[in-house]
Structure 1
Amino acid sequence: MLTYEQLIAALIEHLEQHQINIVHTQELLDTHTLGRSLHVTCLPPNVDKSGAWSQPPLRAVVGVHWPAELTVASIHGQPIIDALNQIVAERLPTLRHASPMAFDVTYFLPLSDDEQQAADFDHLGAKLHHLFANQTEVEAHIEINGVLRARIDQPPVLAQLTVTRIFPIEQLHAEAVAEAIAALSSELHEMLPRLATVFQPAPSNPQPALDPQFYLRPPTA
């Protein structure tokens, strides 16, 4: 069984080796449960990752959430893993059908003024399904979300559009993790440039500039 540190090291090293344009990383620790999580923000190729942008560019955020019980298992080894499995089998049988651990990738898509005003979620959803059509298990592991912003006496506008893809990790073994990371990296290579040609922010309505974000390699990776 891999530890958290081994898992994220494998992820970061693979993304770096395949020249994914990483702009920012963030590690979080839940001080109550001691669960951990990592988020890695990636930009399309050839986008300046050290500059301030007039609008948030198209970006993908890779996430992994590590439950506290896995930290206990990775520290204490096979005896505690066996004990946890026995507890689940005897007392919590419904957890056998719970979703496996997974990487998730959320694409944040900039919208033109016309796309925001039209708020045609059906049209944009169909376009996204077409763009992702050749990706692995797309029907089972894709979620498209839109945020509508409504103001008094004004029609609603589509303020945000995201696509989330799930890459399950069936077992925390090196081979299974490597397979999930390879699928994730392959999709980022293909989809970031493709989406960047379709979804571009409107230059006519600039937002306040963002502070530059610099890529800091997670110290645990």
Structure 2
Amino acid sequence: MHILRRHHFPILLSLAGLLFCTPALAQSMDPGAQSTSPRPIPLQPGTPEQSGKTGNTPTVDPHDQARVLLSGYHNIPPKAAFDSNLKQPQQVLMDVAQGENTLPLQRQRAVEALAYYADAKVEGLYRSLLEDKKSPEMLRHRVMGLLAVNFPKTALPTLEPYLAHSDLQFRLSAIDAIRRIPGDAALQTLQRASKSETHKVAQKRLAQYLRTTR
């Protein structure tokens, strides 16, 4: 009996340890169990994952953050959303706006959001996108209105040549943009265009705008 007890004692200890660990083991294998550990932060592309031993936090790409913001709203996010989430919101949005690999919707919204930070850099970007024939056509049309509304004192010389563009859609966009510029210079520009325009749709658009400004 003493021999059996001496051999049984380690076995009993092993069984007790197994019973003690079973709840935790079962929980870790349950796919429905909720994990208390935080979700990993997405890393910046090309940045190696930092070791947990060093205590370094993985770097979040601000351009990815901007793209998430630009996709997470029905319309353009408020300025506060960019200011609170991006260290250099204007520069990040300019990068996204120029990114040829960026989704068209995100790129257009980045261009529109830059109106929050309207300055010489943004105006230069708008002009560049408009004059670059490789830019998406939809983006070029949108930039015309943004130039007129946000830079009314300097936009007219850039927009006026598009009143004589061979593409009717560009002429219509130019008409719509220039009519938003206050002052006699813009009005006189549209009056001159009405005398040279030959397409009925554009003629009607010009006549409508000129009639409402009288």
Q: What is the TM-score with the length of structure 1 in the denominator?
A: 0.18
Question: Quick one: higher RCO (CA 8 Å, sep 6+), 1 or 2?
Answer: 1
* Larger fraction in helix: 2
Larger Rg: 2
